[in-house]
């Protein structure tokens, strides 16, 4: 062990906190938490009987260890999750999708509640149900509820402003409380039945429906009895599909765990009211740290995104800080939460079921990786590449009638879209419609940056033919870069047809290579071509989106810039106050004048200009307006930098 590392380990505190392991370049490799920082970090360098994969190379990578002290173990949990999200360390598990799972929300305090689909669970007194594993499953639940329980589907705004019943009322799926006198007690009877259904309390719900059906039949209300019969049968079929997992009615999240070398997969099984409601797999690769640390870090991040917190969390193995974690979840839920590692009984069987799901999903993911490896090998062979194209980038140029020239860079890593390496480019040296010069500038900048940072891809795909490919080759040569494969992907085009009566024909997609006269024509249905065209289409979409944003920004500012007396300061003030040019246009003179720094005279000119009734300004008025705006701009600059006094008029 190196001397500096030995000294660092001896100087570590014995208090709770978070530690950050950095490489020799200062990049953060791993973020962890500990009750005793010295004991935890020293354990990584204990060689006696330690066969964990990361121990052998950790000393070679490590350049420094930083610590952050906290007061309690719970604070360490919160800080660890924040630092992982901020720094995205190489060896930490990361939930790349920041969206929470879809749930159903029902606020029973309203006069006429409705079911809403939400992704964020808030402490607002409403009832939440879920999560649902897919949009199709939540649509099926909503369809069943809307058809047989007849709750309103319109928003609160529509409810209070509708003048006549909607189509759902006409087909018998809504009582139309928006315009008709619907007794609140009757409507909330349907709400209680919906709660029973969503909570999985089928016996109580079905018994109540059977009683109502028999009562309606006894009173000779046969249509009502038939409707209840259909509702009863539909709910029975739905409840039959829900497998009973436990004999109690407790909400649980059950975590399964499967690992093979540096590949890790965590499977979350959702149990609601004792019934299985779904699950989801979370695969990770390049993970070198111990199982209990990775699992604890994942579970901490999982509940960070406003995810539904159940009554119990079942884990396959013990993690450090389990009691503090349960306390933190209890605060988020507003009630006690138990975090358990069951060893026997129904709960242990649930953990085993989640682990079997994790192993199965891991095998499927492995086959998918093998298929991707084969795809990349075939692409390398058929395009005669020097490198296996694990890291690919595609570039596209976009302009609007020769102006607003921009470029896009999209990336694919191991066959999957890698949005972290997406880039947008403003062209600096090219001002006219010249695709070749534009491609040269963008690729030159990309190669120079990649050479400085050591982050060059294996393959670059150019949207274009021989001309664009030659420009890319010149950029790579002038940047002093070697070893990167270049190909050009030309779109299919309409072919000339001699026979006027014949149907039009199109050429195949063609791949141009350096040093080859004729392009390579891949099989049009092959996965290799699909991967390339998907990159090209994504680069085109990304460039167009960026160009439209640039054009909108120019349009947004130009119309206000044409108003005498409105310069940069007042334009910013107006847009900051109203939020958009549309709202500026909709505002009256008094509202415009109320904006700080605008004034009545300028407000009248802005209103007149945006509504097309502006009269010609005299030269003196325009000069005075420009002088007023210059004073406003100078005042704003002085406010931003008090050391620089505003010029006197």
Interval 286-315 mean pLDDT: 82
Least confident range of 7-21, 355-369, 430-444 = 355-369
Interval 3-30 mean pLDDT: 86
* Residue 197 token pair: 């259904």
The DSSP-derived string for 266-329 is: EEEEEEETTEEEEEEEEEE-S--S-HHHHHHHHHHHHTTSSPPP-SEEE-SS--TTHHHHHHHH
Spatial contact of 176 and 169, defined as CB atoms under 8 Å apart: yes
Residue 527: band (very low, low, confident or very high) from pLDDT cuts 50, 70, 90: confident
Longest dimension (CA), the chain: 93
Identify the residue with better confidence: 55 or 513: 513
Interval 94-111 mean pLDDT: 73
| Cα–Cα dist 110/119, whole Å | 21
- Is the CATH code 3.30.420.10 the one for domain 252-364? yes
pTM over 0.85, yes/no? no
Q: Over 50: is that where the pLDDT of 502 sits?
A: no
Q: What is the pLDDT of residue 100?
A: 56
Interval 627-640 mean pLDDT: 44
Q: What is the pLDDT of residue 331?
A: 85
Beta strand extents in 9-96 (DSSP E only):
17-23, 28-34, 62-69
- Domain at 391-548, CATH class: alpha beta
Least confident range of 26-30, 271-275, 641-645 = 641-645
Q: What is the pLDDT of residue 623?
A: 45
| Cα–Cα dist 39/56, whole Å | 19
Interval 302-325 mean pLDDT: 84
Residue 440: band (very low, low, confident or very high) from pLDDT cuts 50, 70, 90: very high
Q: How does pLDDT run across 540-553, given as a tens digit for each residue?
A: 988 888 878 777 76
Provide the 10 A C-beta neighbour count for residue 14: 11
Residue 640: band (very low, low, confident or very high) from pLDDT cuts 50, 70, 90: very low
Give the CATH fold of the 3-87 domain: GIY-YIG endonuclease (3.40.1440)
Domain spanning 562-640, CATH architecture: Orthogonal Bundle (1.10)
Q: Over 70: is that where the pLDDT of 213 sits?
A: yes
* Residue 189 token pair: 């009877």
Q: Which of 402, 450, 551, 545 is nearest to 442 (CA)?
A: 450
Distance spanning both ends of the chain, measured CA to CA: 70
- pLDDT winner (highest mean) among 102-111, 457-466, 594-603, 622-631: 457-466
Sequence-distant (≥ 6) Cβ neighbours of residue 403 within 8 angstroms: none
3-state secondary structure 79-106: HHHHHHHHHCCCCCCCCCCCCCCCEEEE
Q: How does pLDDT run across 578-626, given as a tens digit for each residue?
A: 887 788 888 888 888 888 888 888 888 888 888 765 444 434 444 444 4
Sign of CA dihedral 26, 30, 33, 36: negative
Q: Over 70: is that where the pLDDT of 400 sits?
A: yes
Residue 402: band (very low, low, confident or very high) from pLDDT cuts 50, 70, 90: low
Q: Do the two domains 252-364 and 391-548 of this chain adopt the same fold? A: yes
The chain-wide mean pLDDT, for the chain, equals: 79
Spatial contact of 387 and 459, defined as CB atoms under 8 Å apart: yes
Q: Over 50: is that where the pLDDT of 500 sits?
A: no
- Residue 61, beta-bridge partner list: none
Spatial contact of 279 and 357, defined as CB atoms under 8 Å apart: yes
Identify the residue with better confidence: 614 or 256: 256
* Residue 8 token pair: 């660092």
Sequence-distant (≥ 6) Cβ neighbours of residue 369 within 8 angstroms: 414
Identify the residue with better confidence: 623 or 7: 7
Q: Where are the domains of the chain?
A: 3-87, 103-240, 252-364, 391-548, 562-640
- Residue 28, beta-bridge partner list: 22
């Amino acid at each position: 062990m190196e001397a500096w590392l030995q000294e660092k380990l001896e100087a570590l505190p014995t208090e709770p906190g978070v530690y950050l392991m950095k490489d020799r370049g200062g990049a953060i490799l791993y973020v962890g938490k500990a009750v005793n920082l010295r004991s935890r970090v020293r354990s990584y360098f204990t060689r006696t009987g330690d066969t964990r994969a990361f121990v052998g190379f950790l000393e070679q990578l490590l350049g420094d260890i930083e610590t952050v002290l906290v007061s309690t173990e719970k604070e360490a949990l919160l800080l660890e999750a924040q630092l992982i999200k901020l720094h995205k360390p190489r060896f930490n598990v990361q939930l790349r999708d920041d969206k929470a799972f879809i749930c159903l929300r029902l606020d029973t305090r309203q006069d006429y509640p409705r079911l809403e689909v939400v992704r964020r669970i808030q402490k607002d007194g409403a009832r939440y149900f879920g999560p649902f594993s897919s949009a199709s499953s939540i649509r099926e639940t909503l369809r069943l509820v809307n058809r047989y329980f007849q709750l309103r589907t319109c928003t609160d705004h529509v409810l209070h402003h509708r003048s006549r019943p909607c189509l759902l009322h006409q087909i018998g799926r809504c009582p139309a409380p928006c315009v008709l006198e619907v007794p609140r007690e009757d409507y909330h009877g349907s709400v209680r039945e919906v709660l029973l259904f969503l909570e999985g309390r089928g016996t109580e719900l079905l018994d109540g429906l059977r009683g109502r059906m028999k009562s309606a039949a006894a009173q000779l209300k046969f249509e009502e009895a038939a409707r209840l019969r259909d509702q009863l049968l539909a709910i029975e079929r739905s409840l039959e599909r829900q497998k009973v997992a436990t004999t109690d009615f407790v909400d649980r999240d059950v975590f399964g765990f499967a690992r093979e070398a540096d590949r890790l997969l965590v499977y979350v099984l959702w149990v609601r009211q004792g019934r299985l409601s779904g699950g989801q797999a979370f695969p990770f690769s390049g993970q070198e740290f111990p199982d209990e640390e990775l699992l604890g870090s994942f579970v901490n991040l999982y509940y960070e995104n406003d995810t539904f917190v159940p009554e119990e969390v079942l884990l396959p193995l013990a993690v450090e800080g389990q009691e503090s974690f349960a306390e933190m979840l209890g605060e988020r839920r507003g009630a006690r939460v138990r975090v358990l590692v069951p060893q026997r009984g129904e709960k242990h069987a649930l953990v085993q079921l989640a682990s079997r799901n994790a192993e199965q999903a891991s095998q499927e993911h492995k086959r998918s990786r093998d298929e991707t490896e084969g795809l990349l090998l075939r692409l390398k062979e058929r395009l005669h590449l020097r490198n296996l194209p694990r890291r690919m980038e595609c570039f596209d140029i976009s302009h609007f009638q020769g102006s607003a020239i921009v470029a896009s860079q999209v990336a694919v890593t191991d066959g999957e879209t890698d949005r972290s390496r997406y880039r947008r480019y403003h062209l600096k040296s090219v001002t006219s419609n010249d695709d070749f010069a534009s491609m040269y500038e963008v690729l030159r900048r990309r190669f120079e940056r990649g050479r400085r940072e050591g982050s060059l891809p294996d393959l670059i795909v150019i949207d274009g033919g021989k001309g664009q490919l030659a420009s890319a080759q010149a950029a790579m040569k002038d940047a002093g870069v070697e070893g990167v494969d270049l190909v050009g992907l030309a779109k299919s085009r309409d072919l000339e047809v001699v026979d006027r009566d014949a149907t039009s024909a199109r050429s195949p997609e063609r791949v141009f290579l350096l040093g080859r006269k004729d392009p390579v024509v891949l099989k049009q249905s092959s996965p290799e071509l699909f991967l390339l065209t998907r990159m090209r289409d994504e680069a085109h979409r990304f460039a167009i989106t960026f160009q439209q944003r640039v054009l909108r920004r120019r349009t947004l500012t130009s119309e206000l810039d044409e108003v005498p007396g409105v310069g940069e300061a007042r334009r910013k003030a107006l847009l900051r106050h109203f939020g958009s040019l549309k709202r500026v246009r909709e505002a009256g003179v008094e509202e415009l004048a109320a904006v700080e720094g605008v004034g009545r005279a300028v407000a009248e000119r802005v209103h007149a200009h945006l509504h097309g009734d502006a009269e010609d300004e005299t030269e003196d008025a325009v000069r005075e307006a420009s002088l007023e705006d210059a004073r406003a701009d100078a005042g704003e600059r002085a406010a931003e930098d008090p050391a620089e006094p505003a010029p006197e008029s």
